Structure 1
């Protein structure tokens, strides 16, 4: 991955995807997402909620640190892997959608989840096209 400047539209697409994901995490609190995830679903609901919230603090710190690195090549690598995650994350939601505690059925929830995936996929394709030229 080269350190050439990224087109504004590509960076904007990536940032929109990350914003949709972060906003989804707010929405996830209203849907008790910890009751669906294998790592937290076995916990008592209140304990699961606390673990879910607390684990997001270092996770967000690591992702934000990676995305704001002073090393341009590291930022591009972070954008690539976060974009991959946006797509995988939507796939996980599809996989978990049959569980009894899964309640992400509304327009807002699905727009946040799958909009982030579209942005992630768009970033990956756009980045490939830009780097190829």
Structure 2
């Protein structure tokens, strides 16, 4: 059995969520980014994700303690889901369909399961 299979599945969900976040214009929910025009918000949102994903891939291949990174990422997926629940009623929240919530809940559940097992 592959180690941390739920971590990798959660990482897949988060990756797909970020694609969905562009469709749903997630930057319109963030304080600060919500003040920008849609075009500039989109550009900033996309460009900020380049170093974020670089960091994830770097940690997966170069981390001195991969277990700490995996645990931290799992906790992030749970907090991330909580934030989406918290902002569910935000006027600019477009994460309303079943596919968006399947992805969000999938990431959070995978993080929780990986922490437990």
| TM-score with structure 1 setting the length | 0.83
**Structure 2 equivalent of residue 90 of structure 1:** 81
Shift of 1:39: 3.5
Structure 1, unpaired ranges of 5+: 1-6, 127-133
Matched residue of 1:41: which SS? helix
**Structure 2 equivalent of residue 50 of structure 1:** 43
Shift of 1:107: 1.0
**Structure 2 equivalent of residue 62 of structure 1:** 55
**Structure 2 equivalent of residue 113 of structure 1:** 104
Instruction: Write the distance in 2 (CA, Å) between the matches of 1:80 and 1:33.
Output: 25
The more displaced of 96-105 and 61-70 is: 61-70
**Structure 1 residues 40-86: Cα deviation after superposition (integer angstroms, max 9, x where no partner):** 11111111110000000001101111122263xx2111100000000
2:15 matched to 1:22?
Answer: yes
| TM-score with structure 2 setting the length | 0.94
Count of equivalent residues:
117
**Structure 2 equivalent of residue 12 of structure 1:** 5
**Structure 2 equivalent of residue 129 of structure 1:** none
Instruction: Write the distance in 1 (CA, Å) between the matches of 2:32 and 2:74.
Output: 23
Matched residue of 1:68: which SS? helix
Matched residue of 1:84: which SS? helix
